[in-house]
Structure formats: structure tokens, C-alpha cells
Chain A
Amino acid sequence: MYNGNKLSPVLKGVLVAGFLFLYLPIVSLIVYSFNASKLVTVWGGFSTRWYVSLFHNEQILSAVGLSIRIALASATAAVVLGTVAGFVLARFKRFRGSTLFAGMMTAPMVMPEVITGLSMLLLFISMQQLFGQPSERGFFTIWVGHTTLCMAYVAVVVRSRLIEIDKTLEDAAMDLGARPLKIFFVITLPLISQAIASGFLLSITLSLDDLVTTAFLSGPGSTTLPQVIFSKVRLGLNPEINALATITVLIVGIMVVAANYLMLNAQRNREKAIAAAMRENENAQAGPPSSAVSSASA
């Protein structure tokens, strides 16, 4: 693999130190989640009691449930809206205000979340005063906030993928008799499906750990997981949180590994198929192609 420059010992040391700095806290967090002692910094023997108590903690369980529901709902909405926006950005000729549109699409990514959250809160409050809706802050308002944030990311990912794809594929489909809407679903969508999938996963992670926007948009009965963790940690370190964090790390780890595996597998299959095709081509060239001709014309 490392054919060429070997890392000098100094560089290696720096690398190790860097990784330790990043991952040691996480490792210690995992280790201490199995700590029998209630004190987070003193090892009191191995135990799974914090996991047991975690699964009996109604507050945490409902927060997990809410966070997952919000993440799924906003990732879904973000994928639909973000794909449409990305399509417009990539495929439509320049129209009046297209630069403004592109700028506004990506603004939520760079806008400080405090501003986005606050302005949305103000919007919802004045809407409530004017139309009486939304009657309270909770699932709906958080969902709107997260969707706004996530769709910007989806739009960017989808747009860059669409720009890569040869537009003549769509022309060819139209030439062969497919109408625009059909072309989108049968040709374009399959080709950008990976971008959409990664946009979806990205949206889920963005939504799952968002704290700032959520803080502005959540109401009394709707506390998301990051909010619970944050408020608990403020009251002092708690081994239950360690257990919760460990489970989160585990789930995220599994997701990342699975995604990597799927992608690598697809690539390996592709390479295998290409190799097989090359071999067959060589064989075909070695033998005279006339047999194929005579069988075809017979």
C-alpha cells in the first residue's frame, strides 16, 4: 500500500497524538458506561446497570423516539424538496433571479443557526397570532426547522451529481418517446439515487444532533435527545448519559460500516464485471467474428 514515502517517526507520533486526542475521550466514555460506580471518574467495577436504568428512563426513551421521528420526517421532506431544488439549479437555463434562488437555497448552510432558529420562532409566533396556527411549538415546528436546514444540503449534493450526469441521456430518453416527468423518474432519479441516499443519511445525522435550532422551536412537551443530554450534563456528569452515548456511537458505527461495505461491494462487483468483459473481448478478438455474422444473417 505505502509504496513510496514512509512516514517519519515524528510524523507518526503527531498522527497518533492527534487520533488519541480525538478518540480517547470517546473510548473513556464507552469504558465508563460500564462503570459500577456512580462517580464518572472513579472505576468501581464492571456493570451494565446504567444500561438497565437507561431503558427504564421514560424521559430519555421518549426523547429518543421523538428525535428519530423528527429525523426521519425531516430527512424525507428534505430529500423531496432538496432534490427538486437541486434539479432546478442544475438543469434549468438561467432564469430571472436564478442567482438569488441559488443563494437563498444554500443560505441555511452558512447562516448562524441562532439566527435561523430565532427568525423561525418569530415567524411561528406571529403566525399563531394571525391564524392561530401552529397552536403550539413541538414536533411540527421542529420538523419545519430541520427540513429547512437539511434540504439545503440535499440540494447541494443532488445538484453537483446532476451536473456530472450527461444531459444527453435525458435528450436520448425524450428522443425515444419518454415524456419529461417519466424521464425524471426512469432515467434521472436512478442515476442520482446514490446522491439522494447520501443526502438522506446526512439529513438524518444533521437532524439527530441539532440542538440550537431545536431549542428555539421546541415546546414544553417536545424534548429531543440532544436537549435531554444537554440538560442532564448541565446538572452534572451522569453514567446513564455515558451508556446512551455508547449506544449512539454503536449505531452510528454500524451505519457507517454498513454504508461503506455496500459501496465497496458495489464497486468491487463493477470492477469484476469490467474485468470479465475485458477477458471476453480478448477471447472474441482472438477468434474470428465471422461465426457471429453468419448466425445472425441465417
Chain B
Amino acid sequence: MMEAVAAAAPVQTGVQAHNTPYLQISGIFKKFGDNVAVDHVDLDIRQHEIFALLGSSGCGKSTLLRMLAGMERPTSGRIVLDGQDITHLAPYDRPINMMFQSYALFPHMSVEQNIAFGLKQDKLPKGEIESRVAEMLDLVQMRKYAHRKPYQLSGGQQQRVALARSLAKRPKLLLLDEPLGALDKKLRQQTQLELVNTLEKVGVTCIMVTHDQEEAMTMATRIGIMSEGQLLQVGTPGEIYDYPNCRFTAEFIGETNLLTGMVSVDEPDHVEIDVPELEGRIWIDHGITGPKGMQVWTSIRPEDVRLDRKPPATPGVNSARGTVVEIAYLGSYSVYHVRLPSGKVIKSMVPSSRWYEAGEEAPTWDETVYVSWRPDLPVVMTR
């Protein structure tokens, strides 16, 4: 099904590689009374990009999106889209459309009328409206249901109609607020790829909001992490996962082991960090930007933590001894929770084949084991 769509679609990838960003959000700030909802966000979006805003509940994602749509007025800041300053434009004058989390389909109108609604507001000729509606119905494969009312559609079908309606006006920017939030888990995973395919086929620039990190990783070309109104980090899914720039991102995206320490040796080619919780040091084989004596946080992903019965070659450096307190068997791999003498629990993700290949029994509860990691894997963060 996906192949059919992809094959038929001339995917527009970076046709115009402009240097100036397509959408420029600068210093956007929004206060509700004394409550800061969006705190000086700067963000550049390229054309044809699918950008995901990710963050926990109440961090200001929807507010930022609503300011782009014009439904909320920024307290200060500027929004420029395709060379036009739209900061103070009314929602109905913006070349931006939004797909709402609740879909917001007009219940008294048929699928067809819903899709035609925006086109009618532009007073397009009748023939043009009809052909565009037909095009949209085909795009989301809803032609059969053109005369249905929204309440006669399943959740997934409603989602497709909402998408078609928001694309019908060929907006310069499409905003999606939790586009799949109202679907159940199974349908959501299937719909993610379908949605990305449709968006790429149309070639529209999108900003979507989600608090499902898997969804963001699957769908987006770049991700922005938000917390308490601030945009903490922007990058591709890989960058965000491999090089988080702060504790929040490291913990928010995927699982990680977070260790607090102090820089004790700061050389251009290596750094050592004293970590009381390890009762040892972390040795990193590259320099960092931070002086000696500075407090830092180190993130080590569970899949980067090696588990052994034998003590490592360099005790007290990039390793620690502990006891297994919990094992989560997840099929092709298991997650071991190892408690160190300090009480800190380190998670280690071990492929199930690891013990078989070594010709050993897998460790069990209360066994003494050693955790260790390579010196290039920990990520050091200063905030």
C-alpha cells in the first residue's frame, strides 16, 4: 500500500535549497496573565520540512502552534513566512492551515462540504472547487465517502478528512496538533507512515506537535524539544538521540543513565569526571567546553552499557560493580537493572545472544556483575 503511493508520487526533495529559512520564528514570547507559556523561542524551518515539536504536557507546544495559526497573539516576537511578516495577520488571512487534534470536522456538513469549506471562503470558481475537492478525496482515498457526514466515519477516516480539509487550500505551512492523538495505538503506527507519505507527496511544509517521541522520531525530518515554554534543542532524530545537549532532552528521548559529576581533568584530548555515585571516574576520549571543577551531567544509554561477570581491566574508570536487582526480558534483548554500592541503579540493555555466544548462563537476580562503557560513548552536558 505504501509502495504504491510512494511510487506514484514524485517526491519533492529540496527542489529549492534556499539559504534563507522559509519560516522564521524570532523571539516569540507569550504570557497568559503572569504565566509564561512560550519563552522567547527562535526557530527556523526550511521549505518541505516536516518538523516535530516534542515536549511534555503543558510545555507550550499548542500555544506556539496557535500563535503560528494566528489564534493566539504573541506578547512579543516576530513570525516571517516566505518573506512576509505575518505576526499580526488575522487567522483568516494567513496562508497557513491547521489540523486540529479533535479534527474539528463540521458535523452538519458532508465530507465533501467540509473539504470545500476553505476553498469557498476564497471564492474560487465552482469548477475549480470541485476539481480540488476531488483531488483531495483521492489523495486521502476517501472518494467513496464523499457524501458521508463526519459522525458516519471511523476515527481513522475522520483523521484523513481533516487532513484533506487542511491541505485543500494548498497552505504554505501546515500545522498539525497531535495529528494522531485521537487514534488507538495500533492504528496510530499504521497511520504515521501513511500520513508522512501524503505530506511528502504534497510537498507541504509542516510543523506538528506531539508528545509521543516515537511518533516524532518516525515522522519528522527534524525535532524541537520543548520544556516549560523554552525550545531546548533542535536537530534530526539521530542528533537528538545521540547528542542531547541537556538533561531534559537526554531523559525525555529514550531511556538513559544520568550521572552527576565534577570535571577533574580537562585536557584538549581527554576529560575525566569524578562521579561519587560510581565511586570512580568517567574517562572521555575527547575534550569538552567547560573548565575544571565544573559540575556536569553524563548520559550513557542502556544499550551502550556492557554487562560482565569478570571485573574490567581498569577498575574505577568507566566501570562499576553492582548487583542485579531487576531483569526485564524483552525478547531479543533484556534490560538489567544493576544497583551500585552507592544505591544508584544503572540500566544495561543486553542482547539475548550475548550470553549464548560467550557460552555462559545469563546473570540472574542478586548476582554480582560489572557495568562498563567505551570512552567515546558518554555524552557530557552542562545543564
Taking Cβ atoms with an 8 Å cutoff, the residues of A that contact B are 166, 168-169, 171-179, 182, 187, 190-191, 270, 273-274, 276-277, 281, 289-290, 292-294, 296-298
Contacts and interface: CB of A to CB of B under 8 A. Distances in A.
A177 B1 contact: no
Given A277-B152, A281-B154, A296-B139, A174 B92 contact: yes
B4 A293 contact: yes
B252 interface: no
Nearest to B108: A190
26 contacts: A166-B102, A168-B100, A168-B102, A168-B104, A169-B107, A172-B100, A173-B117, A174-B91, A175-B70, A175-B96, A175-B97, A176-B117, A176-B121, A178-B92, A191-B108, A289-B1, A292-B141, A292-B143, A293-B1, A293-B4, A293-B5, A293-B141, A297-B4, A297-B7, A297-B8, A298-B8
B172 to A, nearest CB: 14
Nearest to A275: B152
B71 interface: yes
B196 interface: no
Contacts of B122: 177
Contacts of A177: 92, 118, 121-122, 169
Contact of A296 (B96, B138, B169): B138
Nearest to B94: A175
Contacts of B70: 175
B149 interface: yes
Interface string B85-96: 000000110001
B339 to A, nearest CB: 48
A70 B150 CA distance: 41
A276 B118 CA distance: 29
B106 A296 contact: no
Contacts of B97: 175-176
Contact of B152 (A173, A274, A293): A274
Contacts of B121: 176-178, 182
Interface in B98-144: 98, 100, 102, 104, 106-108, 117-118, 121-122, 138-139, 141, 143-144
Nearest to B138: A296
Given A277-B148, A277-B153, A175 B71 contact: yes
A287 to B, nearest CB: 12
B209 to A, nearest CB: 14
B5 to A, nearest CB: 6
B222 interface: no
Contacts of A293: 1, 4-5, 141
B333 interface: no
Given A173-B117, A176-B121, A179-B92, A290 B1 contact: yes
B223 interface: no
